[in-house]
Amino acid sequence: MSSLPIQALFAPLQQALTDHSQIILEAPTGAGKSTALPMAMLQWPQINGKILMLEPRRVAARSVAQFIAKSRGEKVGDNVGYRVRGEAKVSANTRLEIVTEGILTRMIQQDPELTGIEVIIFDEIHERHLPTDLGLALALEVQESLRDDLKLIAMSATLSGLPLQNLMPDAAMLVSEGRSFDVEKVYRPVAGQQQWLDALASVIIDSVSTESKTVPVQYQQGSVLAFLPGKGEINKLQRLLSQKLDSQQFILCPLYGDLTPAEQDKAIAPAPDGKRKIVIATNVAESSLTIDGITIVVDSGYKREASFNPRTGVSRLSLKRISQASSIQRAGRAGRLAPGCCVRLWGQEEQSRLAKTEAPEISISELTSMALDCAYWGESNIENLPLLTPPPTIHQQVAWRLLAQLALVDAQHKITQQGQAAYELGCHPRLAHMLLQSKALADAHQQADLVSLACLLTAVLEARGLPKKGVDISQYLSLASQGLMANQVRKWQKLLAVSGDIKQIARDAASRDISSLLALAFPDRIAKARGKQGFQLSNGTGVTIDIEDNMSNHDWLVVADFQESQGRNAGRVYLAAAINSDHLHHDLASLISEHKICEWNEVKGRFYAERQQKIGDIIVSRTLESNVDSSLIVQALVSHIQRKGLSILNLDERFYQLQYRLKLAQQFAPEHDWPVIDTEHLLASLSQWLAPYLTEVNSIAKLQKVDILGHVKNLLTWSQQQTLNELLPTHWKMATGTSAPITYQVDDIASDNADIDQITNRQNGKSLGIQARALLSVRLQEALGLSQSPQLLHGKLVVTMELLSPAQRPIAVTADLASFWQGPYVDVKKEMRGRYPRHLWPDDPANTTATKFTKKKTPGLQ
């Protein structure tokens, strides 16, 4: 420990703690920032209070605490302890406490002054986990408003792409050298049609062979660390390797978040004497952990990323390539204790195409729990917190809407009394709402055990790594009455002031009670069967259940857990409870709402109205109505148009020309505040601009007679209509008195035409990036005397001339009339003189008076 590079920063760090309240420390892999630094800080005279160190992952928090305690010759829980979800080893003597992300946030919420805590260290902050971003934001607010003596240290393996200095501009900046040995990179892209998991198994087997073609012999004595995207792939690879490797020589150790602490410790510990260890891990092993004996890393290059889908309200799991930063972190695991080798299952040229860094979780995650954290903190807008990255607006809207539906916040996003009680239960807001409402349900049905049953259900839904027992959630209740899950159930029972034999309650739980409770948490996930495997959720989402599972035979379910996956059209249900129709219309009747709708029947060619009972998007029952109200017909017409598109209306070329002209006006004369009349906007706003004129329309035939162009024109003021006609007229007055029509083409509408002009802002000579053409069609004789093509939009758009023969057929197209008269016109004149001898074809067209008559009728040419 005394030789670690971080030692060189101890003196500057002590000085920084004296002079600054915020410190940013960049310390690459192997520097000792997670172990040597916090251990040394326990002895520094500048620190008298408690040190909290945040570790993003539970396995890292436990491992770091155990390592530091052992290095000090102490037991974990004495001066050095840790606290993770469901497990804590701390005492009154603990001065250095390693905690996971969510624990830190709750400590701040429960005691905003952080009594007794002097320093908070944010380790591995570059990983950008959502709770880390939130914890840092709250700590910064505490420091700003309550504890100016609180010291914050943000530590990162790299500051690349991390806007810490924007958030903490006055922080002291310190940089440590790393300590890692050279790692040789070997690229082994998957060949042809081979499955990447099979290829990975082959590479690992070859890597530990004495005759390896992949890994140089000098790395052969160490153990192997393989990176995979998830638990499923880890289990498959473990089965493949166990069939091909000698168990007397190799020990296979999976490593992922759902494993028990004992199983995780086994993966981190040194290999038994005489054996080599093969650790098969998720990205949990990317940082903070030093796994003894690793000299070879085999990297699949994949990760499993959960991105929130605001439409369905769940996160979609996708298999994605890791970033360059992640690949560097993974490779570095092979060089922590000695020189090593990293085998990458992709080509060297692909390495440079990987994204530079990972997307921060706040950009892709569900924000319901974070929003409740904000409300509990007293903040009604997530973006008002000092965050490294603002979250997507739509994700925030979905989160606040759900919290309002659960009555945990009010319309102004202020936390309610129910919301405060829900937060203090420490589970997802949906489940906290179920726990609180279960008491009211228990009183109504005179069933005191309903609250304890809700606690058991919550424990199941909060658990990780459940064994597979099918979709029926009742099959898992017995698990929740045992071990660590039972401890959590009893904590909730205590908070809710109830008691009961949870083993007995788990055995006696009735399906009706389970579904009633789950409906409190998931009112948007009532599911109706459609087809053999499929169900529709009340939020509109489609889900499936394996046909072999008994739950697929029910007509109605409440879905408690489902997952969307890349490449699947419907989500897959993991946990649900059955609902019978009698139950639906009694205990769950509050979820049913009544609607009166009117629609156009295309087959019968008429409107019809019906009364529908619905749960969200699911129609439970429907009854035809004999009288169709005119207001309902208007709604039906609007819906019909939105479904079919504007093309079903009485539209002609004049309508589309108005759209094109207005698009050009918006681009080049925005000072007139033009309305938006593109098709998408018009469809979305039918209720505002068209519906008022449909009250007398009761058929599609009458709809066809509505003056759509007139109503759209009325969206422009009289002044705007006059200005538009001046800037972009529909006709051009020729010298002969003829009003020649101008046809406009804009953007992709005419993208196939090679001669579209690029409009240029002539004031600054810069292209404005919109393609368009104004095409003026007129007989050539009426263009005589024009020295150049007309110009529109105050000279920004040159009109393209379509010159016609006396028979009104195109004979030339040009946007440069002067050049046309001097060049191509000569050939046109030769050809046309013989075909139309009675018409004028002068030798000097630019200086000839225009005419719309034959030579005989033209004055001076008789």
Query: What's the pLDDT tens digit per position in 425-464?
Result: 999 999 999 999 999 889 888 899 999 999 999 999 999 8
Mean pLDDT of 258-282: 86
Q: What is the pLDDT of residue 758?
A: 41
Burial grade of 189 (CB within 10 A; 0-12, 13-18, 19 or more):
middle
Dist CA 280 CA 615 (whole Å): 45
Cβ neighbors of 548 (< 8 A, separation 6 or more) are: none
**DSSP 8-state assignment for residue 415:** B
Beta sheet of 172-175, edge-to-edge order: 87-89, 80-84, 96-99, 50-54, 117-122, 151-156, 22-26, 172-175
Tell me the pLDDT band of 743, cut-offs 50, 70 and 90.
Answer: very high
In DSSP notation, 480-502 reads HTSHHHHHHHHHHHHHTT----H
638, two tokens: 């609007």
Tokens 């969307």, residue? 564
3-class SS of residue 188: coil
Mean pLDDT of 117-137: 92
Specify the length of the chain in residues: 862
Query: What's the pLDDT tens digit per position in 144-176?
Result: 999 999 999 999 887 777 888 889 999 999 988
pLDDT at 56 over 70: yes
Mean pLDDT of 712-731: 95
Pairing of strands 314-321, 593-601: unpaired
Tell me the pLDDT band of 288, cut-offs 50, 70 and 90.
Answer: low
524-536: burial string, b at 16+ Cβ within 10 Å, e else:
bbbbbbeeebbbb
Q: What is the pLDDT of residue 757?
A: 43
Q: Please check whether residue 367 is in contact with residue 396, taking contact to mean a CB–CB distance below 8 angstroms.
A: yes
Query: What's the pLDDT tens digit per position in 607-666?
Result: 777 888 888 888 888 887 777 777 888 888 888 898 889 988 989 999 999 999 999 999
Tokens 């629609």, residue? 599
Alpha helices in 496-556 (DSSP H): 502-508, 511-521
Which bin fits 528, alpha (ψ -120 to 50), beta or left (φ > 0)? beta
Dist CA 412 CA 375 (whole Å): 10
Dist CA 652 CA 43 (whole Å): 84
Cβ neighbors of 792 (< 8 A, separation 6 or more) are: 727, 728, 729, 774, 799
pLDDT at 769 over 60: no
Half-sphere exposure of 810 (CA within 13 A, CB side): 9
Q: What is the pLDDT of residue 233?
A: 92
Q: Please check whether residue 643 is in contact with residue 600, taking contact to mean a CB–CB distance below 8 angstroms.
A: no
- For the four alpha carbons of 351, 342, 232 and 157, in that order, the dihedral sign comes to negative
Kindly report which listed range (295-299, 308-312, 399-403, 680-684) carries the lowest average pLDDT score.
308-312
Dist CA 435 CA 454 (whole Å): 6
529, two tokens: 């069967």
pTM: 0.75
Q: Please check whether residue 125 is in contact with residue 155, taking contact to mean a CB–CB distance below 8 angstroms.
A: yes
Query: What's the pLDDT tens digit per position in 345-403?
Result: 999 999 989 988 888 999 999 999 999 999 999 999 999 999 999 999 999 999 999 99
Taking every pair of C-alpha atoms in the chain, what is the biggest distance, in angstroms?
121
Q: What is the pLDDT of residue 752?
A: 38
Burial grade of 396 (CB within 10 A; 0-12, 13-18, 19 or more):
buried
Query: What's the pLDDT tens digit per position in 192-210?
Result: 778 899 999 999 999 888 8
Kindly report which listed range (87-96, 160-169, 820-829) carries the lowest average pLDDT score.
160-169
Q: Please check whether residue 425 is in contact with residue 495, taking contact to mean a CB–CB distance below 8 angstroms.
A: yes
Dist CA 59 CA 77 (whole Å): 16
Tell me the pLDDT band of 861, cut-offs 50, 70 and 90.
Answer: low
pLDDT: is 770 or 791 the higher one?
A: 791
Fold equal for 5-175 and 183-362: yes
Dist CA 37 CA 624 (whole Å): 75
Tell me the pLDDT band of 318, cut-offs 50, 70 and 90.
Answer: confident
Rounded to 10°, the helix 196-207/231-244 angle is: 50
Closest CA to 456 of 430, 485, 434: 485
Query: What's the pLDDT tens digit per position in 545-599?
Result: 998 999 999 999 999 999 887 667 788 999 999 998 888 888 788 888 888 777 7
pLDDT at 411 over 60: yes
Percent of the chain as helix, strand, coil, to the nearest 5: 40, 20, 40
Q: What is the pLDDT of residue 728?
A: 96
- For the four alpha carbons of 849, 853, 856 and 857, in that order, the dihedral sign comes to negative
Tokens 């991105």, residue? 307
Mean pLDDT of 832-856: 91
Dist CA 468 CA 486 (whole Å): 19
pLDDT at 862 over 60: no
798, two tokens: 């040159």
The residue ranges of every structural domain in the chain are 5-175, 183-362, 470-591, 592-715, 729-847
Tokens 């087809």, residue? 531
Dist CA 571 CA 471 (whole Å): 13
Q: What is the pLDDT of residue 291?
A: 82
Dist CA 143 CA 112 (whole Å): 10
Tokens 């279960």, residue? 438
Kindly report which listed range (244-248, 477-481, 815-819) carries the lowest average pLDDT score.
244-248
**Mean pLDDT estimate for the chain:** 88
Q: What is the pLDDT of residue 465?
A: 79
Q: Please check whether residue 355 is in contact with residue 363, taking contact to mean a CB–CB distance below 8 angstroms.
A: no
Query: What's the pLDDT tens digit per position in 511-527?
Result: 999 999 999 999 999 99
pLDDT at 117 over 80: yes
224-262: burial string, b at 16+ Cβ within 10 Å, e else:
bbbbbbebebbebbbebbeeebeeeebbbbbbbeebeee
Q: What is the pLDDT of residue 432?
A: 96
State which CATH number among 3.40.630.30, 3.40.50.170, 3.40.50.300, 2.60.40.2890 fits the domain covering 183-362: 3.40.50.300
pLDDT at 286 over 80: no
Q: Please check whether residue 95 is in contact with residue 50, taking contact to mean a CB–CB distance below 8 angstroms.
A: yes
Q: Please check whether residue 329 is in contact with residue 29, taking contact to mean a CB–CB distance below 8 angstroms.
A: yes
In DSSP notation, 548-574 reads TSGGGG-SEEEEEEEEEETT-SSEEEE
- Residue 99 parent element (H or E): strand 96-99
- Radius of gyration for the chain, computed over Cα atoms and rounded to the nearest angstrom: 36
pLDDT: is 209 or 741 the higher one?
A: 741
Burial grade of 439 (CB within 10 A; 0-12, 13-18, 19 or more):
middle
The CA–CA distances, whole Å, from 525 to 430, 441, 861 equal 12, 20, 86
Q: What is the pLDDT of residue 790?
A: 93
Torsion on CA atoms 600, 605, 610, 613, rounded to nearest 10:
-60
% of the chain residues with pLDDT over 90? 60
pLDDT at 504 over 70: yes
90, two tokens: 């701390």
Q: Please check whether residue 677 is in contact with residue 662, taking contact to mean a CB–CB distance below 8 angstroms.
A: yes
In DSSP notation, 647-693 reads GGSS--HHHHHHHHHHHHHHHH-GGG-PPP--HHHHHHTHHHHTGGG
Position 118: which residue type? E
Position 176: which residue type? S
Label each residue of 720-775 as H, E or C. HHHHHHHHCCCEEECCCCCEEEEEEEEHHHHCCCCCCEEEEECCCCEEEEEEEEEE
Position 607: which residue type? F
Could you tell me the CATH superfamily of domain 5-175? P-loop containing nucleotide triphosphate hydrolases (3.40.50.300)
Tell me the pLDDT band of 770, cut-offs 50, 70 and 90.
Answer: low
pLDDT: is 317 or 861 the higher one?
A: 317
3-class SS of residue 262: helix
